[in-house]
Amino acid sequence: MNTRTALAFALACSLPLIAACKRDANQPKPANGDYAVQTWVLPAEAGSMAPDLVLAPGERVLLSWINRREGRRTALQFASYTEQSGWQSQPRTIAVGNSLIANAADTPHLLATPDGALWAQWLQRQPDDAGGYDLVLARSRDGGMAWTQITRVNDDAQPVEHGFAALWADGADAAGIAWLDGRAQDGAAPAAGGHAGHAGHAGATQLRANRFDMSLNRGADAQLDARSCDCCQVAVAQTARGPLLAYRDRDADEVRDIATVRFENGAWSAPKPVHADGWKIDACPVAGPALAASGDTAVVAWYSEAGGTPMLRLARSPNSGDRFFDPVTVDTGAAVLGRAAVGIDADQVWVVWLREDAQGQALMLARYPLDLSKPLQKTQIAKLGARGLASGYPKLAVDAGGAWLVWTDVAAGGVAQLRGARIAR
């Protein structure tokens, strides 16, 4: 296990100094077919971190973030953007309070359902301060001006960790949600200070899922996997056959490879491995997969150190996750951090990830044809100044015109700041 993996066990929530890549939007587009990087100015004020980025009906892009300036209460905020009109309003606040947990790896999520409602999910510290935290959900019917009273997603009140959620639309007016649940563990790790307690978990973390209707009435919990990795992100994508989840599994021998489950015809499938990497590691690497889908085609990107070599892998399924072809290696070597995001459009697959060498970290982008046969483009988006996992996780959203990308920076005085880019021809 290399030094960067060890740093995952004590994840910090501070953000690094990132030099945002800026390009004049009026420059001629490259003749070789490459996409150009243009600055996308974001409305998040100084002190913002933990972004989420999703597409919504009406060609909208939704951006959420946590603002945690010193001396102020923590706030979860969001804003809506269209390419024609820009940012449609000032940032709106979803939740505020010191019980709202800010974590660079376990970020809140936004969702827009076809009925026009917005949904938000985040982590809330339990009131008895016993060290656990809950996963909570709220819904807005008026574009985010007002939000319902929060609903706890996990149906237990044990002082353990519940988080790393994935959120998706379930029909026109309901939401599905999957998460990692620590109720079977023997005690909780402290909620403060990231996820330092994961290496000592004595029980098994479960992957669970449920459905909430427009009134936030819950369905019946489904246990999808009784033993998953403790603190690796869960990803979701809508396929032609239903929502597909990707997550890092964990077997009795501490092999932690990527697996998928799919909801189809009213039931969840059994877990299936994406690829038998055989990465054996005794504690959580904080390195979940990224997932995207279009019709029956699904693509998953993930980090692995199988064989002792850090690498970022990318694999495609032609049948909504029934099986995946052998992966291609996007990047390999000691500099690879992973922390990937992935997207797909009608012609290509997009993937972003982080590297780190003696000069610091770099945010990278690659495009592949749908068959993943060879890279169409590889480019550096931004140079980062931080080390380890403090830089958080970039977010990517792909539409017909290209891609939207959000990452984190640190302004003068060490104050966190979000940065963005539009990647288009």
pLDDT digits (tens, 9 = 90+) for 28-45: 333 346 899 999 999 999
Residue 24 lies in a domain: no
The reply to whether 403 falls in a domain is: no
The CATH number for 61's domain is 2.120.10.10
pLDDT at residue 7 tops 90: no
Q: Check pLDDT > 80 for residue 290.
A: yes
Q: For residues 26 and 265, give the distance between their C-alpha atoms in angstroms, rounded to a whole number.
A: 49
pLDDT at 187 over 70: no
356 exposure class (CB count in 10 Å sphere: 0-12, 13-18, 19+): buried
Determine how many CB atoms are found less than 10 A away from the CB of residue 270: 9
Q: What is the spatial distance between Cα 232 and Cα 71, in angstroms, rounded to a whole number?
A: 31
Residue 21 lies in a domain: no
Q: Between these two residues, 30 and 173, which has the higher pLDDT value?
A: 173
3-state secondary structure of 20: coil
Sign (positive/negative) of CA torsion 336, 61, 81, 137? Answer: negative
Stronger pLDDT, 197 or 267, i.e. the higher one: 267
Q: Is residue 259 part of a domain?
A: yes
Instruction: Judge whether 166 lies within some domain.
Output: yes
- What pLDDT, on a 0 to 100 scale, did the predictor assign at position 74? 96
Helix, coil or strand: residue 117: coil
Of 279, 393, 250, 298, nearest in space to 1 by CA: 279
Cα–Cα distance measured from residue 170 to residue 153, given in angstroms and rounded to the nearest whole number: 16
User: What φ, ψ does residue 154 adopt, rounded to 5°?
Assistant: -70, 135
* Chain-centroid distance, C-alpha 271: 20
Tokens of 315: 């694999």
The mean pLDDT value of the chain amounts to 89
The answer to whether residue 136 is domain-embedded is yes
Cα–Cα distance measured from residue 252 to residue 100, given in angstroms and rounded to the nearest whole number: 34
Tens digit of each residue's pLDDT (9 = 90 or more) over 199-256: 344 579 999 999 999 999 999 999 999 999 999 999 999 999 999 999 999 999 999 9
Euclidean distance between CA atoms 195 and 189, whole angstroms: 8
In DSSP terms, 225 is beta-bridged to: 207
Reply yes or no on whether the pLDDT at 3 is more than 80: no
Which of these, 219, 167, 158, 163, lies nearest to 11 by C-alpha position?
163
Give the chain's domain count: 1
Amino acid (one-letter) located at 308 = G
Predicted confidence (pLDDT) at residue 410 exceeds the cutoff of 80: no
Alpha carbon distance 223, 353 (integer Å): 31
Q: Exposed/middle/buried for 31, CB within 10 Å: 0-12, 13-18, 19+?
A: exposed
Q: Strand (E) positions, 265-385? A: 267-268, 272-273, 290-294, 297-304, 311-317, 328-332, 336-344, 348-357, 360-369, 377-384
Residue 277 lies in a domain: yes
Would you place residue 93 in the very low, low, confident or very high pLDDT band (cuts 50, 70, 90)? very high
pTM of the model: 0.89
More confident position, 190 or 302: 302
Task: Give the list of residues 6+ apart from residue 162 with CB closer than 8 angstroms, or none.
Answer: 123, 132, 133, 134, 135, 153, 154, 179, 180, 181, 182, 183
pLDDT score of 387 = 65
Average pLDDT for 111-127: 97
345 exposed, middle or buried (CB, 10 Å; 0-12, 13-18, 19+)?
middle
CA angle 188-121-99, nearest 5°? 55
3-state helix, strand, coil in the chain (%, to 5): 5, 50, 45
Q: What is the pLDDT of residue 411?
A: 67
Compute the distance between CA of residue 384 and CA of residue 357 in angstroms, rounded to an integer.
11
Contacts of 258 (CB under 8 A, 6+ apart): 246, 247, 248, 249, 273, 274, 275, 277, 289, 300, 302
For 250, left (φ over 0), alpha (ψ -120 to 50), or beta?
beta
In the numeric block, which tokens belong to residue 161? 């960790």
Q: How many CB atoms lie within 10 A of CB 218?
A: 15
Decide if pLDDT at 24 tops 50: no
Range of the domain at 357: 50-384
Tell me whether residue 236 is in a domain: yes
Which stretches of 141-257 are assigned E, i.e. beta strand? Answer: 151-152, 162-170, 174-181, 205-212, 222-228, 235-239, 242-248
- Percent pLDDT > 70 in the chain is 87
